[in-house]
Structure 1
Amino acid sequence: MTCKLSLATLEDASATAAVPAYGRASLSAGIVHFGIGNFHRAHQAVYLDDLFNAGDDHDWAIVGAGVLPSDAVMRDKLAAQDFLTTVVEQDNNKTAARITSPMVDILPTGDARTIIARLADPQIRIVSMTITEGGYFIDASGKFNPGHPSIVSDGNNPSAPKTVFGLVVAGLKARRAAGIAPFTVMSCDNIPHNGKVTAAAVIGTARLSDPAFADWIAENVAFPNGMVDRITPATGQREIDFLQNEFGIEDNWPVFCEEFKQWVLEDNFPTGRPRLEKVGVQFVPDVTPYEHMKIRILNGGHAAIAYPAALMDIHFVHEAMEEPLIRAFLANLERDEIIPVIPPVPDTDLDAYFQLIERRFLNPKIGDTIPRLAQDGSNRQPKFILPSTADRLARGEDIIGLSLVSALWCRYFQGTSDSGKEIVFNDASAERLHAAAVKAKDDPDEFLALGDIFGDVAKSDLFRKRFAHALKTLWQQGTRKTLQLYLDGQLAS
């Protein structure tokens, strides 16, 4: 016997899952969040659910918003179940389900007028976003690109914006016109200095249509930096069926995630914030050390194992970690090249943190996939891998392993695994990456010529030499042999 998720069926669902201790009627919106995807619902929404369950801060409920077709699909699926989400937390030794209810509405996708009106509501004091690394219109140097067609369009039509940043600008302008204090803008994406990156995007978008207002935003709007962490795979029919079979709950789009979660925030919220420190959020003066640690060790680690695993026809992340060559490659890369260039983190042992990451990657219950880790590399490589490469080069240190990561990515984009299996790409730049990777088989510099990705790193003679040798070895001897050569200290010879 199963129950279809809704407010009316919460009592039935409580037989197998934890349900909210608060009523929906007790909530009022304080946050508009762009990007109601799996990560948001496994992370920010869960922290708020914990806080609301404790009886605190019920005036900080979430209103969802979005600009993409996928956001419209999500809105339809969640609206059909009263904006509830089943979150299934999976550790090696247990699996538990909970139903969260901090979201009270999702605004119509593409309806700029309605979204701007809600942003102008004085009760909304935080606008947050989870729009992926590629959603910030930044180039290889990490700078906002005001020439992107979508941003140019918003600059030409500021009253009818289509991007998140155009909508934020319009909402801030409406608040200023009404004499309402500006909301805080909070990024929840895996980007170094995500607050500064978001500020650059919002201010840069505003500057195209109203330079004076852009200056006002820079002087009056808070953009706290934050570090977020929780492994959250994509939802497919496998997860939907598991929830129904194991817990008796029909959820249109459940979220599966690991038990571990972390959120570190700079405490810069002039118009107030929920008391998230009560439920485990760390508030710190400077989030930078935590960002470096997480983005380079965890996200960089994901990028490092994704492409050798794909070339070896491995589908799940835990299976990649069970392959001795890949696990050893990751450990050597982290300890020899990545961790040594990470600044100290308060009260944190970086090697112990990496051991925690290894255990998380090995979790077989998560069902995280190599295709998910491999997607969007054109945005992830410049943020997760190449900064470590650049730091080592600046210190005059070798980059054998990091160059191999870049070469594996290039080999992946040729389009077939070592066995000849076709690789399905998921990257906005897939066409040009594939074209460059095919040419790079004969001339490795063709791939490094992607200046918006490699930037100044490609100007290094050492990097170009290491990359070319690693790519040649991958083509001549295959992924397994190349990884073994690296582990034996023979790849640079």
Structure 2
Amino acid sequence: MTSLTNQNLPEIGQRIAVPGYDRAKLSPGIAHFGVGNFHRAHQCVYLDDLFATGRDQDFAVVGLSVRTEDKPAFADMRAQDGLFTVTEVDDGLFRPRAVGSIVQLVEPGDREAILTTLTAPEIRIVTLTVTEGGYYIAGDRPDLQHPDLVADTGDLSAARTVFGLILSAIRIRREAGAPPFTVLSCDNLPHNGDLTRGIVTGLAERVDGELADFVRREIAFPNSMVDRITPATNQTQIDTLAREKGVEDKRPVFCEPFIQWVIEDRFSAGRPALEHVGVTFVEDVTPYELMKLRILNAGHATIAYPSALLGLTYAHEAMRDDLVLRFFDDVERTYLLPASPEIEGVSRESYLAKVTERFANPAIADTIRRLCLDGSNRQPKFVIPALREFLAEGREVSGLAMLQALWCRYCYGELEDGTQIEPNDPNWDALREAARAAKDEPRRFLQQRGIFGDVADSEAYAEIFSRHLRAIWEKGTRQAMEDYLSGARR
């Protein structure tokens, strides 16, 4: 067994792919908040590929986190000189590589060290993968009244949130005459750049009007669309990597072969030439974003809740279950695909076919529980916007109502056999309370205005949702779904 370190790369390179460049020649240019599996399987891989071409080796990554619970992971990666493996898996495919694009990992929660990194003139881009729940969203916009954000604006010099630290760094750099950086969100949110701009600018307005004007004028917040299915790593995967390749990696990542990144080409102080390794730069990311959020992300929700209620464990099992697969195909083709924009040179049908293939990948072992996670934040981003559009156009929405009725039944917190569902949402207590009230009064679930917004005002939708939820409780999940698929759309 060989430990993953710079010193051991020559030996490891005889077993798996290793960085095709001299890591000693890398220098920082990107500071990244949220060094989790997705970031390492996505942004770090693109940069690793780019550095191997000899280009832009001054855009290596410094890893940051405001979460002290990330200390063990950062310590493990530091012991490996920032190296980690990314293994692409599919049916019959097991392709690991060592990735070397992270050159420094700052102690999580150390605000002074984080600010030192963010204010270094060589840092030209700040990227984020802090998850959907990390943006302080209430309803469809950030909650600038959240106590964490209020505390930051009360004393910016002591800021501790990601956004407060970014704003503090912007102010320090401005006062020092250092060039402004770009803030690039890589989280799976609609218009993630606009959202990030809204938070940072909103905080700046509370601190200093001139600082807010500077943010609007000088700081770029390009929107981006990211995609690669990257579940949590399990022990079986770690053991397989060690057994088959003889590589000891304390923090390995496993993901699907598919990867995509689309970015609006607006940067404050230059960018790496990632177009040479497959990144798509566009003027407006919106159509790409909507296609992905609706066909893929809402598609995940479509299989997640019925599969959980039917006792399935993995996404690939869901795609082999005839009932779940038929429901997925119906909702995709009737609602989600039509609600997705047409893009020149991109086929929605082909995209759906690829998504279906990706969901069925057994080697990923993507858990249904992961897909069910954080519905209170994901439903308003992935499903409800399409639902709102259909209602505004007077189109039928029965399938989307069934999807949300299944989510409500899941939030009840108990399967049909009495098995308890462990909390799986930051707002689990409120969801469960609403779902339990909805067993007798279905509309109670829709009264969660922070999730459903004005959709809750639609009498037609409330009636369809209520009918589906009653059917699930009276007949059970499987029969209610069969009845829906048999044509009961009214």
TM-score interval for Structure 1 and Structure 2 normalised by the shorter chain: over 0.9
Aligned equivalent of 2:44? 45
Structure 2 residue runs of 5 or longer lacking an equivalent are none
SS in 1 for 2:387: helix
TM-superposition CA deviations, 1:355-384 (whole Å, max 9, x none): 110000000011111111111111101001
Aligned 1:18-417 pairs, distance under 5 A: 18-140=17-139, 142-417=140-415
Structure-2 separation of matches of 1:190 and 1:310: 23
How far residue 491 of structure 1 moved from its aligned partner, in angstroms, is: 5.3
More moved, 425-434 vs 316-325: 425-434
Is 1:375–1:425's contact at 8 Å kept on the other side of the alignment?
Answer: no
The alpha-carbon deviation at position 150 of structure 1 amounts to 1.0
In structure 2, how many angstroms separate the alpha carbons of the residues matched to 1:281 and 1:70?
Answer: 32
Aligned partner letter, 1:182: P
Q: Give the whole-Å Cα distance in 1 for the aligned partners of 2:416 and 2:362.
A: 25
Give the aligned length. Answer: 490
Tell me how far apart the structure 2 counterparts of residues 230 and 384 of structure 1 sit (CA, whole Å).
Answer: 16
**Contact conserved, 1:87 with 1:256, CA < 8 A, in 2?**
yes
Q: What SS does the corresponding residue of 1:19 show, helix, strand or coil?
A: coil
For residue 186 of structure 1, give the secondary structure of its aligned residue in structure 2. strand
8 A contact 1:482–1:491 mirrored in 2: no
Amino acid at match of 2:159: P
Tell whether the 8 Å contact from 1:266 to 1:286 is kept in structure 2 after alignment. yes
- CA distance in 2 between partners of 1:454 and 1:61 (Å): 41
Give CA-to-partner distance per residue, 1:308-340, whole Å, 9 cap, x none. Answer: 111011111000110011111111101101111
Rounded to whole Å, the distance in 2 between the matches of 1:72 and 1:436 is: 36
Deviation of 1:448 after TM superposition, in Å, equals 0.9
Contact 1:413 1:434 in 2 (8 A): yes
Aligned partner letter, 1:113: E
**What is the TM-score of this pair, normalised by structure 2?**
0.98
In structure 2, give the amino acid aligned to 1:467. F
Conserved 8 A contact 1:166-1:205: yes
What is the alpha-carbon distance in structure 1 between the residues aligned to residue 206 and residue 329 of structure 2?
46
Report SS of the residue matched to 2:432. helix
Of residues 121-130 and 472-481 in structure 1, the stretch that sits farther from structure 2 once superposed is: 472-481
Alpha-carbon deviation of 1:237? 1.7
8 Å CA contact 2:152–2:160 kept in 1: the answer is: yes
The whole-number CA distance in structure 2 between the counterparts of 1:122 and 1:315 is 48
Q: Could you say what the CA RMSD is over the residues aligned between the two structures, in angstroms? A: 1.1
State the distance in 2 between where 1:207 and 1:69 align: 29
Return 94-103 or 74-83, whichever deviates more.
Answer: 74-83
User: Contact 2:301 / 2:372 at 8 angstroms: preserved in 1?
Assistant: yes
Cα shift at 1:345: 1.6
Q: Secondary structure at the match of 2:196?
A: helix
- Residues of 1 paired with 2:225 and 2:441: CA distance? 39
Rounded to whole Å, the distance in 2 between the matches of 1:138 and 1:218 is 21
CA separation of 1:43 and 1:314: change in aligned 2, threshold 3 A: same
Q: Please say if residues 399 and 489 of structure 2, whose CA atoms lie closer than 8 Å, have aligned partners that are also in contact.
A: no
Q: Tell me how far apart the structure 1 counterparts of residues 477 and 2 of structure 2 sit (CA, whole Å).
A: 47
- SS class of match (2:87): strand
Residue by residue over 1:397-436, the C-alpha shift from the partner in whole angstroms, topping out at 9 and shown as x without a partner, is 1110111111111100111122322111221101111111
What do residues 246-270 of structure 1 show as CA deviations (whole Å, max 9, x unaligned)?
A: 2211111110000000001111013
CA distance in 1 between partners of 2:208 and 2:187 (Å): 27
What are the superposed Cα offsets for residues 88-144 of structure 1, whole Å, 9 maximum, x if unpaired?
Answer: 00123421000000001111111111111211111000000001111111222x222
Distance, in Å, in 2 between the alignment partners of 1:294 and 1:460 is 27
Task: Tell me the amino acid that sits aligned with residue 19 of structure 2.
Answer: P
Q: CA offsets per residue over residues 61-108 of structure 1, 9 Å max, x none?
A: 000001123432321121121111100001234210000000011111
Structure 1 Cα separation of the partners of residues 171 and 101 of structure 2: 27
Which residue of the partner structure matches residue 468 of structure 1? Answer: 466
User: CA contact under 8 A between 1:184 and 1:223: conserved in structure 2?
Assistant: yes
**Shift, 1:393, TM fit:** 0.5
Alignment of 1:434-473 (within 5 A): 434-473=432-471
- Provide the rounded CA distance (Å) in 2 between the counterparts of 1:483 and 1:196: 38
- Is the Cα contact below 8 Å between 1:35 and 1:71 reproduced in 2? no
Judged with a 3 Å threshold, the aligned counterparts in structure 2 of structure 1 residues 391 and 305 are, in CA distance, closer, same or farther, namely same
Given that 1:16 and 1:97 are in contact with CA atoms closer than 8 Å, whether structure 2 keeps it comes out as: no
Tell me the secondary structure at the aligned position of residue 159 of structure 1: helix
Cα distance in structure 2, aligned partners of 1:416 and 1:154: 39
Cα deviation, 1:182-241, whole Å, max 9, x if unaligned, reads 100000011111110110111112222223312220121100011100000011222221
Paired letter, 2:252: P
Q: What is the letter of the counterpart of residue 485 of structure 2?
A: L
C-alpha separation in 2, matches of 1:193 and 1:178? 31
Q: Secondary structure at the match of 2:255?
A: strand
Distance 1:237 1:275 in 2: 36
Question: CA–CA distance in 1 between the matches of 2:406 and 2:71?
Answer: 35
Amino acid at match of 2:49: D
Q: Please give the alpha-carbon distance, in whole angstroms, between the structure 1 residues aligned to 2:206 and 2:360.
A: 47
How far residue 156 of structure 1 moved from its aligned partner, in angstroms, is 1.2
1:244 Cα shift? 1.1
Indicate conservation of the 8 Å contact 1:312/1:419, yes or no.
no
Name the SS for the 2:417 alignment partner: coil
Q: Is the 2:88–2:94 Cα contact (8 Å) retained in structure 1?
A: yes
Percent identical residues: 48
Distance 1:370 1:322 in 2: 13
TM-score by length of 1: 0.98
Q: Structure 1 residue 157: deviation in Å?
A: 2.0
- Kept in 1: contact 2:222–2:263 (CA 8 A): yes
- Kept in 2, the 8 Å contact 1:339–1:350? The answer is yes
Measured in 2, the distance between the counterparts of 1:177 and 1:373 equals 44
The amino acid that maps onto 1:159 is S
Relative to structure 1, the CA distance from residue 70 to residue 317 in structure 2 (aligned partners, 3 Å threshold; closer, same or farther) is farther
